[in-house]
Structure 1
Amino acid sequence: MILPIKITLLVVFAVCTGFLARAQSVEDLQKKKAEAEKEIEYTTRLLNETQQNEKSSLSKLRLISSKINSRNTLISNISHEIEIFDQCITNNTLALELLKNDVQQLKEEYAEMIRMAYKNLNAYDELLFLLASENVNQAYRRFLYFRRYKTFRESQATTINAVQKELDVSRQKMEQQKIEKLRLIAKTESEKVLLNNEQQEQNSTLEQLKLQRNNLQRKLRQQQKIEQELEREIQRIIEEEARKNQSEGGAAFALTPEQKLIGNNFEQNKKRLPWPVERGVIVEHFGVHRHPVLSNVQVQNNGVNIATETGAKVRAVFNGEVSRVFAISGGNTAVIIRHGAYLSVYSNLREVVVKKGDKVSTKQVIGTVFTDFKDNNKSILKFQIWKESTKLNPEDWIGR
């Protein structure tokens, strides 16, 4: 009897261990769910600002698209969570069945033991049995037999209680898992309804924007001009600093010991840099991608565009020195900060509060994001990271 109980307990232990591993996965999924929900909530808030102007805009379309992506992420995480609970319920069902069988078997054996003890109580009275011993050694062995038999009966009772307790705990756990699974299924269905509404709004906005093709093409050309001017200014800074180093007899990209230290620290904080605004949503990613409205048109972004709220403060992402503050025709003000071999670039700013040569620290406010009240209250920070003349994807550097 002891062997099957051990096997069952091993199975239950394996189930519990697996559950703990999956519990960690559930915890990770719940964290991601919370992040997606926060992003949806914040994007909705930004969209509510744009709803004051009924005119459809590219920024509104990008916000809706970002919200849909977050909603899909949320639904996907909920689905994974449901799968984990399904596995837990299946495993707990197996454990319950094994435990129930063991409890039943233990009870039957214990009942038979009690019946046999009661039936033979008069025939084998303990005292008489001991007195009938041929010698002291035999009497002692018989005494040990009775004591072990009594201990075994007590241990059987203890085992029954322990297995019954484990059975009750597993049953309660499985009921909780079933309730949580039903809650998640209901949550999935409600999220799908919201997703469908957002997709309809996206399609409606897209159709309206297609009627503004000429205006969008004009804005795209203007934006490309701003990007080119910004890139030329960055290259100019790099070339000026290279010429200065060479004129002083050094290498083109030579750094002082302090600059090297800052650059190394900057690199070591990859994926952990703070966002350049306290809260925001990335509505346009790094690199070449298709224009969201204009067919067969490719758009290149040297950084990321972050939608944020009106009056949002812009912050330095790391310690450094302001290399340049300059105005861009049609693109407001830009600030470039050097962090050793790296540059962080912040454009579409107003009310800049730093100047060339200023030393800045991580999260220090350097200005305010410009809000275009003529274009659905659009507040977009354009943020870039360069390593000398190489453009880098900011999403690989800022934390989530």
Structure 2
Amino acid sequence: MDALLTFIENVFPNPITSKLAIEGLNSLGVETIDDLQFLKEDDLGGFLRPIEARKLIAQIPSDSSCETSFYDHDWHYSFDVPWQKMPASFMEKLQNGERPSCSERRQLVRIVASEILEVSKCPAKKHVSEIARQMVIAYPKSFRDEINSQVVGSGYDSLLKQLVCRIDNFKRAKAISSPLCGTLEVSTKKRKLLYGCIHSDPQLLVGETSELQQEKKEKLLVMFQNNESDVKTIYDLMTSTYTSQRNNIQSGKETKDLLDEWPYLFQPAGMKAHFKELTGIDINNSFEESASSKFRRILEYFQFQCTERASRAGRILTKYRAGGDHVCGAVMLLLTHFKNDQDHFLVMVEDTSVPSDVCSEQLPATPCIVVCGGYYYDLATQ
């Protein structure tokens, strides 16, 4: 029972959640860690929330060796970091006090995490923390968390986090691959399809029939063939035929077939209508809210940086402080900061131009922004 309690406390650090889990498991007849393998996600619904239940199922060990590992509480003090399994070039870097590359560090984390699981099937965070500390002590210049020569936190927090995440991934992959987790795999796939969606599997509304849906679909096709631009009508028809659109998409139809049957699904008005029904988010309103908050935050960030007034970023900031548009300023600063070729993102046209004046031959193959006038652009490229 002590081993089971320790296991649950490792899965749920929150004492309230772990207490509820223990009481609920006891009511189901679970007395040891071995008993956990007979659980199903539906059994946990009475005392755990869906995510908590899936988290517990994913971390249930597939054998009883986890039971005995809890009784050896001090194994981590004698754990030997497998430095010998790393390439010679990597070890030479460490001995010279150099920091390893990201790929080399990930390789080390994978090897150490694998070795930890060979010793203990269910290591606690305190065990992994001690191992991370030993690694930093062995090669402080290569692994210690520092900013401007100042140690950050414990000095090994980032390494600890990487090890914990890798161990969790190892255990999750093993749990999902077991036959007992077939239902978990199905529910995981289903969750992935629902991420961000509130209306992914709609039913026909009251008063709607398959015949009415087909009539509206044909009307949309005629409007597209006649190049009609009544945005409100298109939006309303695309909204009312949303169920048919989702059925076609989820049936696995090719994009080419969808383009032939629902051409407005690939046009702004129809795309916005479909997205609004699928996620409940109005793209226009959402973009305006983001533009008013996130773009200003970007500008505030650059204003606090040491930027020379004569530089390209400095000229853009000067224009913004003089009353320039914050959206244009933020976009130009981002392009400048990431050293992107502005000609690939911004296409200049006359300030009196309308969309029909822009020829597709003028536009690059990649997504771009068409700029009318472009004082900001001229300022940034001088």
- Class of the TM-score when normalised by the shorter of the 2 chains: under 0.3
Flag the structure with larger Rg.
1
Q: More helix per residue: 1 or 2? A: 2
Using the size of structure 1 for normalisation, the TM-score is: 0.19
Greater relative CO (CA pairs within 8 A, separation 6+): 1
Using the size of structure 2 for normalisation, the TM-score is: 0.19
Q: More strand per residue: 1 or 2? A: 1
